[in-house]
Structures are given as C-alpha cells and as structure tokens.
Amino acid sequence: MTRSLTILGATGSVGSQTLDLVARNPGRWQVEALTAGSDVAGLVSAAKACGARFVAIADAAKGEALKAALAGTGIESGAGESALVDAAARDAEIVITAIVGAAGLPPTMAAVKRGAQIGIANKETLVCAGPVVTAAATAHGATLLPVDSEHNAIFQVFPHDDPAQVERVILTASGGPFRTKSREEMRGVSVADACKHPTWSMGAKISIDSATLMNKGLELIEAAQLFPVDVERLDVIVHPQSVIHSMVEYVDGSVLAQLGSPDMRIPIAYAMGWPERIATPAARLDLAAIANLSFEKPDLERFPCLALAWAAMRAGGSAPCILNAANEIAVAAFIAGQAGFLDIDAIVAETLNMVASGPVATLEEVMAIDAAARRTARALVAKRAA
C-alpha cells in the first residue's frame, strides 16, 4: 500500500537519506511535500526525482527562482517560513522533520496538530518545547517516532506498556573527533577539524555539536520528553565504535541494547515503515570484524556542554530552550570565524546565567524565550569579536 510522505529539510543529510530510501522502494511512498532552507537547485532536483507535489523554500528571497526552476513541472511551490508550515500542514500520513535548529518547531507543530505520524530528526523541537509538543501530540492523536539513532534504539527496546520496568536509560556517545584531546589542544581547532566525525557522516551543525558533546546533551533532554522516565534515570556512556546505539536497563538487572552499523538509513527506515520494518542497503553488522567494543565515562570538565545540558534538563521550564538557542548562535559564530571552538560552551553558559528561565505553556512563549536567548548570545559573540 502506498503511503504519503512529507520531508521537512529534504536537502540535508537526513532528508537526502530519506529520499534515497524512497528511490529504493518505488511505489511504497508518494511524496507530498519537500522543504529546504536555501538550496533551490537541490530542492528542485529532489522534487523532480521523487515526484513531489509541493515544495517550499525557507528563504523568501528565493521564491521566484524556485518558481522559475519548476516551470512546466506542475509542482506547486511556496517561499518563506509560512510556506514550511503550509508544507507540513498538507495531507501526508508520514512527516519526517529534519530541519536543523529551532526553525523546525512551527512546521513540526503543524504536522502534529493534524495527527500525522512524525519521524522526529529535529531534536530541537522537543528540547525547546517538549511539554508543548507532547501535549499537542496526545490531544491530536499524532505519533512521535524518534529518528535520532540513540532515541530510535531506545524506542525499539523500551517497554512502552510498562515503563515501571525500567531502571535506567543509557544513551551512547561516540565522543566525537576530540574525544582524547585536552582543552588546550581543542583551543585552536578549525571548523573542518570539528566536522571530522569518526563514525557518522552528518551536516556541519550536528557534527560540531557532536564535537562539543552538546549533541548528547540535547539528546538527553529529548529523551526525557520521549520516554516516561525521570531525569535521574537517564545516563550517558561514551562508546567510540558507535555500534551499540543506546541501551535500556531493567529493574532485574537485564540490559537490552539495539546494535547496528552507523548508517542513519536504519532509524529513518524504522520511522518511515513503522509499525513494519523495511529493507535498507545499510552494511550488515560484522561483530567479528569489529572485534572490540569499548566504553568510558564522559569527561564533563573537558566537555562542559554536556554538563550544561544536564543542568538545563534538571531545571526544566525554558532552560533547555535557552541552552539550545545560545548553542545555535555560538556554533554559527564558530562556523563564521567569529568565535573559537572553546567559546561555544562559554557563550552558552553566560546566556543561561543572563536570561531568566521559567515555565512555558505555549508555542508563542517558547518562541519568545528563544528570541530573547538568541539576542543575548549574539551580544556575547559581538563582545568577543570586538
């Protein structure tokens, strides 16, 4: 049976791998809509290849170029942030949310409010507005399926009918490219250095987050929203081989883990096909060839972003939103050469101290605190650059 599918963030890493699975399974999905940030050529090429009915570009200035590139194809188009929401609101059974950053929140909420099956690859949605999103999902009958490899692994081995069986949820982290480096050695690293992830192929933002371990911190916060366990039962362990994607420890001492090769098409396929499993071209796991699996505790002194995320998760309310907003600004500044790698955690810490946090109950409140935190973080970046 053909199922309808929308991909928010179609030209990024997760989006392109989702489209790869669509192409490998002709007739299984009808692509309703695709979105992109500013890559007109990539969006048009993807839309033509998969037969999308509607496309949207976030950069409003590129709307006319998009329309011109689609002339004669019959594919509808839109431009600007509102067009992303329009794409998500279209009648697709499955929506993969792969927009990077808090920009993915409004379109994701639009899909949630019409009760779609949501494959969440945009972790900031739950980091910034977890209680708001999960409440809306319950109210509108939407299904939230995690696409991040760690949360997808937990989802596969979690006792959804009886969460009381769970003693601990353990997220694994590769440790990133600087796992063995000192703070001093990390001081002068380049963007290219930070993007050289040892096991995963990802975009610049998430690769840098992995290098600071902020990515794991954001995943902790997301896990607290996805799974009914209190924060004290969440844990992180560094596992450089990235073979065990996460684990669930039960009250009897048993630990269940989901293993697989480090290929995002595995968790993407799980979310696209759920409740069925579909074939993927991912390399099959050869444990004899891997030979050894190792583990170590994360070093919170060398990687303070993880400690900051843990504190924000425990504080709750708007603290995770402030953390995420400050991190997005700091990472963007690092990419632009306006800040050093070690400035990232410093900017996040200062922003958390300067922006008052409190409870949030609506999407509008989330967006307001996000904007306030971004203003503060930008001022801190400018101060450093002066």
Residue 284, judged by CB atoms within 10 A of its CB (0-12, 13-18, 19+), counts as: exposed
pLDDT at 124 over 80: no
d(CA 15, CA 18): 5
Both structure tokens of 146: 């995690």
What is the longest distance spanned by two Cα atoms in the chain?
Answer: 63
Q: Can you tell me the distance from the alpha carbon of 319 to that of 305, in angstroms, rounded to the nearest whole number?
A: 14
Residue 60: other Cβ atoms inside 10 A:
13
H or E segment and range at residue 155: helix 149-157
| pLDDT score, position 386 | 73
pTM (2 d.p.)? 0.90
User: Which of 89, 121, 146 is the endpoint of a domain?
Assistant: 146
- Is 184 in the same domain as 297? yes
pLDDT tens for 67-122 read 999 999 999 999 999 999 999 999 999 999 998 877 888 999 999 999 999 999 98
Q: What is the pLDDT of residue 69?
A: 97
Domain that holds residue 43: 3-146
For residue 25, give the amino acid letter: N
List the strands of the sheet with 244-250, edge to edge. 234-238, 166-173, 244-250, 255-259
305 neighbors 345 (Cβ within 8 angstroms): yes
- pLDDT for the residue 123: 77
Residues 301 and 350 in one domain: no
Please report, for the domain that includes residue 21, its CATH number.
Answer: 3.40.50.720
Number of folded domains that form the chain: 3
Report pLDDT digits (tens) over 155-209: 999 999 999 999 999 999 999 999 999 999 999 999 999 998 877 667 788 899 9
Which DSSP state fits 103?
G
Closest CA to 223 of 173, 265, 274: 173
Q: Concatenated DSSP letters for 62-75?
A: GHHHHHHHTTTT--
Q: Are 73 and 49 in contact (CB under 8 A)?
A: no
Residue 98 has which token pair? 């792969």
Look at residues 311, 340, 372 and tell me which one is the last residue of a structural domain. 311
In angstroms, what CA-CA distances link 348 with 78, 220, 322, 328?
35, 17, 8, 9
Region label for 256, one of left (φ > 0), alpha (ψ between -120 and 50) or beta (otherwise): beta
Which has more confidence, 203 or 334? 334
Which of 280, 311, 342 terminates a domain? The answer is 311
